[in-house]
Amino acid sequence: MTQDIKALFVAAENGDASAQCTLGEMYYIGKVLYKDNEKACKWLKKSAKQGNIFAQDFIGAMYFDGNGVTQSYENACIWWHKAAEKGDSWAQNKLGCMYKNGLGVKKNYILAHFWFKIAICNGYIEAYYNLGQMFEFGLGCDKDLHIANKLYGMACKAGLKVGCDALMHLEKS
């Protein structure tokens, strides 16, 4: 074990949230340290509980996918909500998707709209596409193909292929 890794362990054991998050990621990926999802989860949770947004995102994704933990959409939502409240646009978009689809939370199109709009305000491009779908299909709002077209256009202009595909599909129909 290198001196840097030893120092990382000391920092993590002393409560450094960044070091804990880094160790968790290293255990999860298994490149520098051997792959151990249980240890990854332990360190990421310690970091996430201290408010580390990246760790909160990571733990939420582990729960969503069931990687290293028992799959739980509810727990994914709990961790993503913590990160979203701190301004994390990726988590805000994920929460919008969870509310839109009723995964881990009761389906709520109003909250889906809310989180997608917040994610857009914070620069998350995929949220344009997701909100566009809400308007295209009238989910929680009146169906409005003009607004959907604009939102898909914004996603496409930013380089999101699925936004371009949706834009082309709308223009053909």
Instruction: Report the pLDDT averaged over residues 62-74.
Output: 95
Domains, in order of start, for the chain: 3-124 (1.25.40.10), 125-173 (no CATH)
> Is residue 47 within 8 Å of residue 53, measured between CB atoms?
no
21 compared with 2, residue with greater pLDDT? 21
Amino acid identity for residue 93 in this structure: N
Q: In whole angstroms, give the CA distance from residue 80 to residue 56.
A: 6
Residue 1 has pLDDT above 80, yes or no: no
> Is residue 6 within 8 Å of residue 23, measured between CB atoms?
no
pLDDT, position 141: 97
Q: In whole angstroms, give the CA distance from residue 34 to residue 5.
A: 13
pLDDT digits (tens, 9 = 90+) for 113-164: 999 999 999 999 999 999 999 999 999 999 999 999 999 999 999 999 999 9
What is the chain's Cα-based Rg?
A: 19
Q: In whole angstroms, give the CA distance from residue 173 to residue 30.
A: 47
Residue 76: name the closest of 64, 86, 84 by CA: 64
Residue 173 has pLDDT above 90, yes or no: no
Residue 153's contacts (CB-CB under 8 Å, 6 or more residues apart) are: 163, 167
pLDDT digits (tens, 9 = 90+) for 9-57: 999 999 999 999 999 999 999 988 999 999 999 999 999 999 999 999 9
Residue 8 has pLDDT above 80, yes or no: yes
pLDDT, position 31: 84
pLDDT digits (tens, 9 = 90+) for 73-118: 999 999 999 999 999 999 999 999 999 999 999 999 999 999 999 9
Q: In whole angstroms, give the CA distance from residue 146 to residue 51.
A: 40
